[in-house]
Amino acid sequence: MLMNDISPASTLVADQQAPLRRVLIETWGCQMNVADSERMLALLATDNYQATLVPEEADLIILNTCHIREKARHKVVSRLGRLQELRHTNKDLTIAVTGCVAQAEGKSLLASHAIDIIVGPGKIAELPALVANHKQWKQKAIAIGFSKAELLDPADQTCQKSALEPPPSLEGKNPVARFVTIQQGCNNFCTFCVVPFTRGSEISLRPRTIRAEVAAMLAQGVKEITLLGQNVNSYGHDLLAASSPAGEELLAAPEEQPFVALLKDLVTLPGLESLRFTTSNPHDMTAELAALFATEAKLGKHYHLPLQSGSDRILQAMKRKVTRADYLSKISWLRQAVPDMALSTDLIVGFPGESDEDFADTLSILAEVRYSFVFAFTYSPRKGTAAIRFKEQVPEAIKQERLRRLNLLQDQITLEENQAEVGKIRQVLVHYRSRKNPLYFYGRTEHYRLVRIRSDQEIRGQVLGLTILAANKIALAAEY
Ligand code: SAH
Ligand code: SF4
Ligand code: F3S
């Protein structure tokens, strides 16, 4: 996704002449899609679109899709099937598919399904014009791909849009936590992964663009910012390589890793309570970054470091570029900086060739690191990736059985780690109020553990020192 074709923020003012219309966006996949959905809402607001959650009242429905596992496409196709019924009562309905399925399978989807517009992650800025065209002329359209010229000159990125105007939030309230994309795409080509194909090559946004976006969000009352990229630790290396003004901005601190310099700069912004980031490829994670956690309290005491497998043989076949020992030494840097650092990870079970011994290596790392939580998936063969051609694909039943065993072990560890919190006083940033019960709020501790807080006061956005009263494997409990 590129930013240089986006209207300047000053033009992001709703066109009062346009009729009021309603847009429903369904967002699947990772936080990048969440950030992209917000951007789409902000762009569409200029054409007087307001967000709705009710399909029957929508003039425009956008499915912002994920392609990471095979189920993703099935989900889109079945959702599209159900949405077609709405066309009987609303002849003017426009249905758009965006996100990673749009980029990967847009052409075939447009031919075979009742979709009006397809827009890939690299072409979001074109969405409003394509929607307007469809409304007026019923013209179907597809915009996918990544422009090469833009890739070659990252210095031309202009200010990123949505942040400079509040997004039309669904509940009319500003959220406590927001995402900010700092890096598009990925150059790593891990053998299981579609992301380099769906999101294009790695491009870093300029430091001053990011700073402006974060500052604008903080000015709206946001307290927590999560920086997004597929490999945030390599942030800025492309800017340094292209001798551009953006590279010079980074070179202001030549001795520092660009991502570390970025974090150090952002934590100084007034109003910021918590600065987080995801995702962090262990290959590019440095001791310098780990050490920053010892001095910058706003970074918290939690690190998500995706491992994928505990077996060196499998890590190599995945092209992860780290060994188990490399990974564990990076964990030890983090625990040197913050002895009670909470850790989480992503794991894949049933990668081609994974033997019982390889899987046992993954289980043993769970016991060794004692993650606070784990996102575990069965390996899903993806078209276009190298691993789909690997021999020794693991039978589905074995994958499912390994996943079950892994989750059983991790659930026990998560429960024990959560229960060890009972009686401790933790700093909790309160994120939102329960929809079901207004006496309950949800927040996160500095270790990023979910806390349910019972309170009869409005506490959203506050950082509270709370005693943890109880815990299960999902969350901690406190009162205020
Ligand atoms: N950039 C991140 C990962 C982004 S994808 C990193 O390098 O760690 C998010 C997660 O989806 C991955 O960590 C992996 O665990 C999972 N995933 C990606 N491709 C997958 C596939 N083909 N099958 C199963 N899980 C997959
Ligand atoms: Fe996918 Fe690997 Fe890139 Fe992560 S680093 S997005 S797993 S290719
Ligand atoms: Fe899915 Fe695309 Fe994110 S494939 S995980 S939405 S980068």
- For residue range 219-275, list pLDDT tens digits in order: 989 999 999 999 999 999 888 887 677 777 777 777 789 999 999 999 999 999 999
pLDDT of residue 415: 98
On whether residue 1 sits in a domain, the answer given is no
Q: Which two tokens stand for residue 353?
A: 């060739």
Q: Which of 367, 385, 418 is the last residue of a domain?
A: 418
Q: Which of 81, 112, 146 is the last residue of a domain?
A: 146
Q: Given a cut of 80, is residue 284 above it in pLDDT?
A: yes
The minimum-distance atom of ligand 1 relative to the CA of 385 is: 22
CATH number where 430 lies? 2.40.50
On whether residue 12 sits in a domain, the answer given is no
Average pLDDT over residues 412-424: 98
pLDDT tens digits for 304-335? 999 999 999 999 999 999 999 999 999 999 99
Residues forming beta bridges with residue 477, ordered by sequence position: 452, 470
On whether residue 435 sits in a domain, the answer given is yes
pLDDT of residue 175: 84
Q: Which of 418, 433, 454 is the last residue of a domain?
A: 418
Q: Are residues 188 and 126 in the same domain?
A: no
Q: Is 275 helix (H, G, I), strand (E, B) or coil?
A: strand
Q: Are residues 431 and 408 in the same domain?
A: no
On whether residue 153 sits in a domain, the answer given is no
Average pLDDT over residues 403-412: 98
> In angstroms, what is the span from residue 209 Cα to ligand 2's centroid?
24
Q: Helices (H) and strands (E) in the chain — how many of each? A: 16, 20
Average pLDDT over residues 10-21: 63
Q: Is 378 helix (H, G, I), strand (E, B) or coil?
A: strand
Q: Are residues 355 and 437 in the same domain?
A: no
On whether residue 4 sits in a domain, the answer given is no
Nearest to 320 by CA among 148, 159, 192: 192
Q: Are residues 130 and 193 in the same domain?
A: no
Q: Are residues 246 and 336 in the same domain?
A: yes
pLDDT confidence tier of residue 185, bands split at 50, 70 and 90 = very high
> Phi then psi for 365, rounded to 5 degrees?
-70, -30
Q: Are residues 87 and 222 in the same domain?
A: no
Check pocket membership of 230 for ligand 1, CB cut-off 6 A: yes
On whether residue 15 sits in a domain, the answer given is no
> In angstroms, what is the span from residue 457 Cα to ligand 2's centroid?
43
Q: Could you say which ligand is closest to the alpha carbon of residue 387?
A: 1
Q: Are residues 231 and 273 in the same domain?
A: yes
Q: Which residue has the tokens 């406590």?
A: 176
CA distances from 368 to 56, 302, 365, 371 (A): 51, 17, 5, 9
Nearest to 372 by CA among 225, 474, 443: 474
Q: What is the domain extent for residue 112?
A: 21-146
The minimum-distance atom of ligand 1 relative to the CA of 190 is: 7
Which of 69-78, 180-189, 241-250, 294-303 is least confident?
241-250
pLDDT tens digits for 152-165? 344 444 434 333 34
> In angstroms, what is the span from residue 382 Cα to ligand 3's centroid?
13
pLDDT confidence tier of residue 444, bands split at 50, 70 and 90 = very high
pLDDT tens digits for 49-93? 999 999 999 999 999 999 999 887 788 888 998 899 999 999 999
Nearest to 462 by CA among 178, 230, 221: 221
What are 313-317's contacts with CB under 8 Å, separation 24+? Answer: 313/353, 313/358, 314/351, 314/353, 314/354, 314/358, 317/191, 317/351, 317/352, 317/353, 317/387, 317/390
On whether residue 152 sits in a domain, the answer given is no
pTM for the structure as a whole: 0.91
Residue whose CA lies nearest to ligand 2 atom number 2: 190
pLDDT confidence tier of residue 170, bands split at 50, 70 and 90 = very low
CATH number where 31 lies? 3.40.50.12160
Q: For the chain, how many structural domains are there in total?
A: 3
Q: Are residues 302 and 213 in the same domain?
A: yes
On whether residue 200 sits in a domain, the answer given is yes
Residues with CB under 6 A from ligand 2: 186, 188-190, 193, 195-196, 230-231, 281
Q: Are residues 110 and 176 in the same domain?
A: no
Residue-averaged pLDDT of the chain: 89
CATH number where 315 lies? 3.80.30.20
Q: Which of 70, 348, 378, 380 to mutate to test the pocket of ligand 1 (most atoms within 8 A of CB)?
A: 348
Q: Are residues 207 and 90 in the same domain?
A: no
Q: Are residues 175 and 86 in the same domain?
A: no
Q: Are residues 196 and 327 in the same domain?
A: yes
